[in-house]
Amino acid sequence: MDPLSDVLSFLKPRSYMCGGFDLGGEWSVQFGQHPGIKCYALVSGQCWLSVEGVPDPVRLKAGDCFLLPTGRPFCLASDLTLTPVHVRTLLQAPPNGGILTYNGGGECLSVGGYFGFTGKHASILLKVLPPIVHIRKESDKEAMRWSLERMRQELREPQPGSFLIAQHLASLMLVQALRLHVAEGLRGGVGWLFALADKQMSAAISSIHSDPAHGWTLQSLAERAGMSRSTFAEKFKQTVGASPIEYLTRWRMLLAGDRLENSSDPVSAIALSLGYESESAFSTAFKRVMGSSPRRYSRSRNQASQSEEEAAHIHQLEPVTG
């Protein structure tokens, strides 16, 4: 897989909510803090987006898509001087399919979803994204148009399986938005996602992700990038924020941690599959990167998962109170 697909698959994004808002007249809606990432797009109309801590509001127009990766409270409004109502007010109204209506609707229609990450390392993605990712180029909006229209139709006219289709469409919107964000040529940022906009750095990162067990060296990765060893090392560190070998080791350990959590593979097998000739060398690298030995990491994660399952089971048995 390519690096973006690799990371998203590793983080296991799950659409916890998908739907839309149909707003009319003069309106302002406040949304609270949220974990994970929100991805929405305007099917029709226009409005303002104001995110807490971001000085300048963003004007959204039909076809625009926006991601909110930092979880900060935000406001959508026809006029930012209006006193906002909390989104809970909209949730009290009966939905039209999967779309909530406010003030009669008809002026601005937004659809999208909220994504949580079941993988524990969500910061791999979220920390390299700005507070607002705004997709607004006409060519980019054209790439999103089919997904938006299809999602609007599934939410407006629900049929058997519509909720699942809408969830998958929301996931598609998320991946498309991230891909378009990368394609814009991210400048000035540091991190693996920014590096994907650079063909030479992307070639090296893609090589690591395609075969993490390979005995990559600084020289072999520089050759993949078509650069001299010294120039490649300097540019990689400036762009990614880590040396090529540090990045390789970090990715290997993240993959190892995922297998320790989600498989019964012995440490020796995981070590060999990731290019380590000895379990001791792997364990040393794992502890340096992940903060604990592989076996302790596996035990602590299994205990945490068991506690979460028990808590969920208890919650299901509790009576619902007003």
Residue 134: CB partners within 8 Å, gap ≥ 6? 58, 60, 64, 65, 66
Per-residue pLDDT of the chain (322 residues; tens, 9 = 90+): 789 999 988 888 887 778 899 999 999 999 999 888 999 999 999 999 999 999 999 999 999 999 999 889 999 999 999 999 999 888 776 666 688 889 989 999 999 988 888 767 888 888 888 899 999 888 888 888 888 889 989 988 888 998 889 888 888 889 989 888 887 765 556 789 888 989 999 999 999 999 999 999 999 999 999 999 999 999 999 999 999 999 999 999 999 999 998 888 999 999 999 999 999 999 999 999 999 999 888 776 555 444 433 433 333 333 333 3
192-300: which CATH topology? Arc Repressor Mutant, subunit A (1.10.10)
Q: Where are the domains of the chain?
A: 3-183, 192-300
Cβ atoms 55, 107 nearer than 8 A: no
* 3-183 is classed CATH 2.60.120: yes
Edge-to-edge strands of the sheet including 13-23? 99-102, 13-23, 108-117, 37-44, 65-68, 133-135
- Beta bridge partners, 47, equal 60
What is the rounded CA–CA span in Å between residue 104 and residue 114? 24
